[in-house]
């Protein structure tokens, strides 16, 4: 969704810019993102060219992006096309316009963040750098740069259960666990080893594989675990955090 990255908020104009002037207003970016829209408050219909300049010690600097083809505007807020341009939070930039009629809204702020010089609209292209010869004025143009702001998309996991799960990834070398329960689960790094669960209660996985296999289960359903080994002649010893369990070896011959 498009959001404001830099520029003014909506306000009632206290005056109108005259036509055939190169106007620039200094703004600080309120977030980082790609500016894809140039918004302008107008009080009449006309045409406008727009641009974005870098800041050079408080003065207009090098040209970043220019839309040298005029775009039509009407009374109210207008959204102008703008080539996608990265803008950095906290940095200062200059939004620039040139118009063919007296219509762009301006607002007095008494700070002196505006610059202007006479420049015919017809055949005008934004210079690089902005140059000199500007008059300082205590108004700002009611304009803003909008676009897609930077964000972090959280990773998601899928689960066949009907409950609310909080899961972490686990190594692909471990067997996967099939789950049909509907309880709340908090799985550890090693979510399970070759176990199946048809329980309906709350489950809390352990952090190691011994505790995962032999951990406690608060579910009310039936759990099953099958461990197969082809090695004969020795007992199978199973360990948990609470002790050791020995299962005597029984050789089965077919």
- pLDDT (tens digit per residue) in 9-62: 877 776 677 899 999 999 999 999 999 999 998 888 899 999 999 999 999 999
Q: Delimit the domains of the chain by residue range.
A: 2-149, 165-245
Return the pLDDT at 150. Answer: 67
Alpha-helix residue ranges (DSSP H) falling in the chain: 209-214
Query: Dihedrals φ, ψ of 211, to 5°?
Result: -75, -25
Q: Is the pLDDT of residue 192 over 90?
A: no
Strand 114-118 to 135-137 pairing: antiparallel
Highest average pLDDT, of 66-70, 196-200, 239-243, comes from 66-70
Mean of the per-residue pLDDT values of the chain: 70
Q: Give the whole-angstrom CA distance, residue 182 versus residue 44.
A: 62
Task: Quote the tokens at residue 46.
Answer: 């006309």
Q: Give the whole-angstrom CA distance, residue 178 versus residue 185.
A: 13
Q: Give the whole-angstrom CA distance, residue 207 versus residue 222.
A: 23
Give the H/E segment covering residue 63: strand 59-73
> pLDDT tens digits for 30-44?
999 999 999 998 888
Using 50, 70 and 90 to split pLDDT, how confident is the model at 132? very high
Q: Give the whole-angstrom CA distance, residue 114 versus residue 96.
A: 10
Q: Give the whole-angstrom CA distance, residue 133 versus residue 121.
A: 17
Instruction: Check: CB of residue 44 under 8 Å from CB of residue 101.
Output: yes
Q: Is 139 helix (H, G, I), strand (E, B) or coil?
A: strand
pLDDT higher for 113 or 126? Answer: 126
Instruction: Check: CB of residue 197 under 8 Å from CB of residue 219.
Output: yes
Return the pLDDT at 81. Answer: 96
Q: Give the whole-angstrom CA distance, residue 83 versus residue 97.
A: 15
- Angle 90-95-101 (CA atoms, 0-180°, nearest 5)? 160
Tell me, yes or no, if the pTM score tops 0.75: no
Q: Is the pLDDT of residue 236 over 90?
A: no
Beta bridge partners of residue 240, listed in sequence order: 243
Please list, in sequence order, all residues whose beta carbon lies within 8 angstroms of the beta carbon of residue 47, skipping any fewer than 6 positions away.
70, 71, 72, 73, 99, 100, 101, 121
Q: Which fold has domain 2-149?
A: Jelly Rolls (2.60.120)
Residue 129, preceding bond cis, omega within 30 degrees? yes
Q: Is the pLDDT of residue 239 over 80?
A: no
Instruction: Check: CB of residue 149 under 8 Å from CB of residue 36.
Output: no
What average pLDDT score do residues 112-137 get? 94
Return the pLDDT at 107. Answer: 63
Q: Give the whole-angstrom CA distance, residue 169 versus residue 78.
A: 47
Using 50, 70 and 90 to split pLDDT, how confident is the model at 112? low
Nearest to 210 by CA among 182, 235, 188, 178: 188
């Amino acid at each position: 969704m498009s959001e404001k990255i830099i520029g003014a908020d909506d306000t009632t104009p206290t005056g109108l810019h005259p036509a055939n002037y190169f106007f620039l207003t200094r703004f600080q970016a309120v977030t980082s993102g790609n500016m894809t829209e140039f918004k302008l408050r107008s009080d009449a219909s006309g045409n406008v060219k727009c641009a974005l300049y870098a800041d050079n010690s408080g003065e207009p600097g090098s040209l970043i992006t220019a839309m040298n083809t005029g775009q039509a505007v009407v009374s109210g807020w207008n959204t102008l096309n703008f080539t996608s341009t990265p803008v950095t939070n906290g940095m200062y930039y200059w939004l620039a316009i040139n118009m063919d009629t007296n219509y762009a809204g301006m607002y007095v702020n008494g700070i002196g963040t505006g610059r202007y010089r006479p420049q015919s609209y017809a055949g005008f292209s934004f210079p690089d750098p902005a140059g000199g010869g500007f008059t300082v004025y205590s108004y700002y143009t009611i304009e803003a740069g909008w676009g897609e702001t930077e964000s972090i998309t959280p990773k998601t996991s899928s689960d066949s259960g009907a409950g609310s799960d909080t899961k972490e990834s686990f190594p692909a070398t471990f067997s996967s666990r099939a789950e049909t329960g509907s309880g709340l689960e908090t799985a550890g790094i090693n979510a399970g080893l070759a176990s199946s669960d048809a329980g309906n209660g709350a489950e809390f996985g352990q952090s190691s594989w011994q505790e995962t296999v032999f951990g406690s289960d608060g579910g009310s359903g039936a759990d099953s675990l099958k461990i197969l080994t082809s090695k004969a002649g020795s007992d199978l010893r199973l360990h948990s955090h609470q002790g050791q369990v020995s299962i005597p070896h029984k050789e089965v011959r077919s």
